[in-house]
Amino acid sequence: MKKILLPTDFSENAFNAMCYAVELLQSTTCIFFIVHAYTPALYRVDYSMGSPGKFGLPDDHQHLAETTLDKIVKRLRKLYPNPKHTYVPHAAFNTLDDEMCSVVKNENIDMIIMGTQGATGAKEVLFGSNTVHIFRKVGIPVLAVPSTYKFSALKEIAFPTDYEIDYKRTELDVILWLSKIWESKINVIHVTAPQGLTSEQKKYKRALEKMIKDTPHQVHDLPDQELINAINVFQERVPFGLLVMVKNKHSFLERLFVEPVIRNIGLHSNVPFLVLPYKSKS
DSSP letter string over 30-55? EEEEEEEEE--SS--TTTBTB-GGGG
Q: Give the pLDDT mean for 52-65.
A: 65
| CATH 3.30.379.10 fits domain 156-244 | no
- Domains 2-146 and 156-244 equal at CATH topology level: yes
Angle between helix 60-79 and helix 12-24 axes, rounded to 10 deg: 40
Predicted structure pTM score = 0.84
Q: 36: pLDDT confidence band, cut at 50, 70 and 90?
A: very high
Q: Which helix (H) or strand (E) holds 209?
A: helix 199-211
Q: What is the pLDDT of residue 270?
A: 78
Taking 50 as the threshold, does the pLDDT of residue 250 lie above it? yes
Q: Is a pLDDT exceeding 50 seen at residue 120?
A: no
Residue with the bigger pLDDT between 211 and 118: it is 211
**pLDDT value of position 251:** 54
- pLDDT at 246 > cutoff 70: yes
User: What is the per-residue pLDDT for 123?
Assistant: 38
For domain 2-146, the CATH class is alpha beta
**Model confidence band, residue 166 (pLDDT cutoffs 50, 70, 90):** confident
| Mean per-residue pLDDT of the chain | 82
Do 133 and 97 form a contact (C-beta atoms < 8 A)? yes
DSSP strand pairing (142-146 vs 273-277): antiparallel
pLDDT at 281: 65
Domain ranges for the chain, please list them.
2-146, 156-244
* Cβ atoms 37, 96 nearer than 8 A: yes
Across 133-266, where does the E strand assignment appear? 142-146, 156-160, 185-191, 217-222, 242-247
Q: Judge residue 107's burial from the number of C-beta atoms within 10 Å of its C-beta, 0-12 exposed, 13-18 middle, 19 or more buried.
A: middle
pLDDT of 147 > 90? The answer is no
Report whether pLDDT(17) > 50: yes
